Structure 1
């Protein structure tokens, strides 16, 4: 059973209601009823908050994992560079030129292999974890 009622709304709200009614092809009463029910229903607000909280928690966990992975990568790279600098002897000027040329060739090959692995979806991290897991069993 429907009961007619009279409400007083600001003119801008009426314009928005009229526009939505025309765009959606629904009656103003139907739109107003849905809006009022949504406003009066505490479950919808709580459900929306719970959904948002779950999403934020998931994003927070993902960011934590990314931060951990970045920290590990940065530390591993820094440790490698420090060790390499400690154990690599200085070179003469002639050796330095030859090493620079060879280094540029090797770097280009490295970048090419890296791009290929990434485009194929093969990550060394996954391979290492599989190897470690199989060694532990």
Structure 2
């Protein structure tokens, strides 16, 4: 026959009790279950630390992926700019003057297009990834 749980009476500040009740209601759990789990985490800090370490490891992996993706994006942009600068012929003088006159307008159009593209999703790199022969798509 399983051991019956022992009863414990505690006095809590009103704010703590309100927080406990709100948390229990949000998670649709009993006050006893939430209190027991909280006390267990307090009494057995190794379990709590293990959970935190696991979370930190996941966060670290995510940050490393973001860092890698950011480096790839920067490199791709630099390669593109270098390629464009070395292959695009300079504009003749009259065309340069016209281009300078409309540069602010073209920049605004570019920024609008970029904003629309970012709001639209999926990202261009996701489209490229799904089109690549190694992606299986």
Shorter-chain TM band: 0.5 to 0.7
Q: Secondary structure at the match of 2:122?
A: coil
Q: Deviation string for 1:6-32 (max 9, x for gaps)? A: xxxxxxxxxxxxxx734356xxxxxxx
Q: CA deviation at 1:93?
A: 3.6
Q: Whose Rg is larger?
A: 1
Query: Shift in Å at residue 77 of structure 1?
Result: 0.7
**Going by fraction, where is helix more abundant, 1 or 2?**
1
- What is the aligned residue count? 109
Matching residue of 1:21: 12
CA RMSD of aligned residues (A): 3.2
Indicate whether 1:70 and 2:70 are aligned.
yes
Aligned equivalents of 1:104 and 1:39: distance in 2?
Answer: 59
TM (norm. structure 1) is 0.62
Q: Work out the CA distance in 2 between the residues paired with 1:78 and 1:114.
A: 18
Q: Distance in 1 between matches of 2:68 and 2:135?
A: 24
Q: In the alignment, which residue of structure 2 is the partner of 1:5?
A: none
Q: Which residue of 1 aligns with 2:109?
A: 109
